Amino acid sequence: MDYTILVNNGHLLAADYVPEDLIEIHEPTGSKLDPTYINRLCIGAYHAFKDMQKEALKQGYEIFVDSSYRTYQYQQKIFEETALKKGLEHALKFVAKPGGSEHQTGLAVDIIFRRNKQMIEEQTETDPEIKWLFSNAYRYGFILRFPKGKEHITGVAFEPWHFRFVGQELAKKLFLADMTLEEYYASQENNDLSNSPASIT
């Protein structure tokens, strides 16, 4: 499993792509579109999340996984329902295309939290739980995947609840450089070009 995989509306996964090492997570979640939905993550992301959750709890923050692995077909359903209800333009802006969602990799989590015994279903950048994640998620290998101010790069609206497991090494690198995954891949391509024999001569 390549934890650094780039998936977006320009880099689509095949309809039959299913990660091999998914495991189920059972914990409190928010209200769901589909009541049969079961949270699943790739094993590396699962353990990293559990470590992060434990540390968050020590700080007094009860974080949980609200949404994680989604099949291609599930994403298709979300996309089509959103497009029907709110129009295609809205769907393209706020919902990944089928195959374009990181949730299909089993490496993405939408976080929810509980405060004073109540699940908080609307996450904002001012919530202390979210602020803690912004500063600490990288230590566990997660990045805030769709940051504010980078919408023109990611092509996705700011999502303070969506974190993506990329492994600790890359997460730290991206956090310190304030880089999105798209910027990282673009910088790699530039490096490849400058190292190619054609540009050395």
* Active-site pick, 55, 80, 151, 159: 159
- Min dist CB 96 to Zn ion, Å, is 8
Closest CA to 102 of 68, 131, 143: 68
- Min dist CB 199 to Zn ion, Å, is 38
The first and second tokens of residue 29, run together, are 């979640």
Nearer to Zn ion, 62 or 110 (CB): 110
- Min dist CB 196 to Zn ion, Å, is 36
Nearer to Zn ion, 107 or 179 (CB): 107
159 is catalytic: yes
The answer to whether the CB of 140 falls within 8 A of the CB of 74 is no
Nearer to Zn ion, 67 or 138 (CB): 67
- Measured in residues, the chain has a length of 201
DSSP H or E run through 52: helix 43-58
Residue number of the CB closest to Zn ion reads 162
Q: What is the torsion angle, in degrees rounded to the nearest 10, for the CA atoms of residue 175, residue 179, residue 181 and residue 185?
A: -130
Query: Which residues in this chain contact Zn ion in the complex, by CB under 5 A?
Result: 110, 162
- Catalytic machinery residues: 159
